[in-house]
């Protein structure tokens, strides 16, 4: 494989840096596949739940899919916990950082704060504040995150739920990560799409 001529960055010339720029674009194009690879590693390790973290991720995405949610929502649902692998104490921020260049702002924000919103389901049982989500009141996406947690995230720890396999979601993930990074037409600041689309849901059920 062709490489640069330099061993220290300060010695590189234009040709070297053009070569690297092209390779970077090629490498970035496979980020969707690498994320799915990471997700499949969530199969390992004991979490204490009745399902693995991979099962949980697939269940969350499957619920989004059957609700008729759009590609941004389904991919957000699938990858919302991918940060567990390397950032167990701020997995929400980690996932948001990864998703930010390629997803609608609404979905990225939801992923970024979902852990605080999930506390309403359990924090009180540990003597902690279940209402930390209140600090986000007034945010235009507040109710979207409430719904994300209620319908998809907190419900997806069910060993009896029949969910779609990782490979089902691969084309959708590839499509999303093939978008132009940081494109305002993708990030659509301020735009809110519903989590549930009855028409899309019905069409999916008939296939």
Interface residues with Fe ion (CB under 5 A) are 81, 153
Nearer to Fe ion, 96 or 172 (CB): 96
Min separation Cβ 111 and Fe ion, Å: 8
Min separation Cβ 153 and Fe ion, Å: 4
Which SS3 state, helix, strand or coil, does residue 177 take? helix
Half-sphere exposure of 44 (CA within 13 A, CB side): 6
Q: Alpha-carbon distance 137 to 142, whole Å?
A: 6
Min separation Cβ 152 and Fe ion, Å: 8
Radius of gyration over every alpha carbon of the chain, rounded to an integer in angstroms: 19
Contact 38, 82 (CB under 8 A): yes
Nearer to Fe ion, 58 or 172 (CB): 58
Nearer to Fe ion, 80 or 104 (CB): 80
Min separation Cβ 92 and Fe ion, Å: 6
And the tokens for 81? 């916990």
Min separation Cβ 80 and Fe ion, Å: 6
Q: Alpha-carbon distance 77 to 148, whole Å?
A: 8
Nearer to Fe ion, 81 or 112 (CB): 81
């Amino acid at each position: 494989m062709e490489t640069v001529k330099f061993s220290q960055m300060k010695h590189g010339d234009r040709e070297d840096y053009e070569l690297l720029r092209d390779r970077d674009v090629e490498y970035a194009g496979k980020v969707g596949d690498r994320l799915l690879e990471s997700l499949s590693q969530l199969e390992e390790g004991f979490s204490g739940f009745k399902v693995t973290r991979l099962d949980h991720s697939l269940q969350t995405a499957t619920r989004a899919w059957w609700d008729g949610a759009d590609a941004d929502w389904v991919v957000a649902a699938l990858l919302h916990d991918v940060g567990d692998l390397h950032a167990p104490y701020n997995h929400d921020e980690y996932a948001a950082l990864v998703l930010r260049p390629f997803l609608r702002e609404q979905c990225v924000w939801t992923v970024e704060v979902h852990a605080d919103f999930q506390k309403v389901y359990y924090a009180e049982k540990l003597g902690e504040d279940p209402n930390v989500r209140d600090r986000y009141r007034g945010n235009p996406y507040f109710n979207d995150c409430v719904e994300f947690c209620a319908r998809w995230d907190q419900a997806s720890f069910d060993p009896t739920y029949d969910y779609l396999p990782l490979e089902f979601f691969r084309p959708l993930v590839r499509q999303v990560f093939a978008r132009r990074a940081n494109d305002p037409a993708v990030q659509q600041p301020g735009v809110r799409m519903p989590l549930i689309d009855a028409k899309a849901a019905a069409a999916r059920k008939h296939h």
